[in-house]
Amino acid sequence: MDNQGKQGISIIAKPLREQIYEYLRDEMYRGSLLPGSLVNVNEISQRLGISKTPLRDALIQLECDGFVSILPRRGVMINKLSLEDVKNAWEICRALESEILIPVFDKLKEPALAEMERLTKEMKRASEVKDTYSFYQSNVAFHNVFLNLSSNDQMRRIIQLNKQRLYDFLTRKHIPQWEEEHCEEHMAFIDLIRRGDADEAAQYLKVTHWSLEDQETYILQFYFNGETHE
């Protein structure tokens, strides 16, 4: 891969390993690399015009982050999520997002709330046309409006990694009712912030928006087609 890869990927701003890592994550996100499939290292290396060394480094980082498994004599496999994996990632995001909200609450001024409203409208539009990829991009961006106000880089990194696991392969099932509830909860959350009650907003985020109990049926549909995969 030179200054501009064959797929139009610029590698000027970041180290090559990071650029390849992000490219592979995006391929997973878009559904080009599916859970349980083997990564064709030779094909990717040729497609991007890169040597196998930085590609291997990126794959090692993906393994450390839980996205792939490097199997001796078999190659690199994209990991599947179990129900336990989903629940664990969900609980981590649930706990840390509500924890981050309190210290940044006073920084959430009207421009930030207007951006959150705009992103929620983008989610609604994406849901109407069954664009799951754009829906969850806007969903993540919505939460990042307040998460990025935090100076705790480690907490934000943990949330980011777990959300990448949760929203890893967005060719998953389109569930209109769940997406509608996402948008309604976002607007309710914005209203709570406008009222100025940090504790109530954090509690809503933790108990309602990230509720495993209330959303488990949707989770099973979204990740496992309604089946339980322990």
Which amino acid, residue 79?
Answer: N
pLDDT in tens, 185-216: 999 999 999 999 999 999 999 999 999 999 99
Rg of the Cα trace of the chain?
A: 19
- What pLDDT is attached to residue 10? 46
pLDDT in tens, 92-145: 999 999 999 999 999 999 999 999 999 999 999 999 999 988 998 999 999 999
Whole-number mean pLDDT of the chain?
Answer: 90
pTM of the model: 0.81
Beta strands (DSSP E) in 180-228 are none
112, 101, 82, 108: which is closest to 210 by C-alpha?
Answer: 101
> Looking at the predicted structure, is the pLDDT value of residue 1 above 80?
no
Domains of the chain (ranges; CATH) run 16-78 (1.10.10.10), 83-224 (1.20.120.530)
Q: What is the 3-state secondary structure (H, E, C) of 19-59?
A: HHHHHHHHHHHHCCCCCCCEECHHHHHHHHCCCHHHHHHHH
Q: Rounded to the nearest 10 degrees, what angle do helices 132-147 and 153-166 cross at?
A: 170
32, 89, 140, 39: CA torsion to nearest 10: -20
Q: Which residues have CB under 8 Å from 64's CB, separation 6+?
A: none
| Contact present, 77 and 35 (Cβ < 8 Å) | no
36, 55, 34, 54: which is closest to 44 by C-alpha?
Answer: 55
194, 175, 195, 171: which is closest to 183 by C-alpha?
Answer: 175
First to last CA, the chain: 40
> Looking at the predicted structure, is the pLDDT value of residue 75 above 50?
yes
Phi first, then psi: what are they for 159, rounded to 5°?
Answer: -60, -45
Paired tokens of 98 = 């509500």
Q: How many residues does the chain have?
A: 230
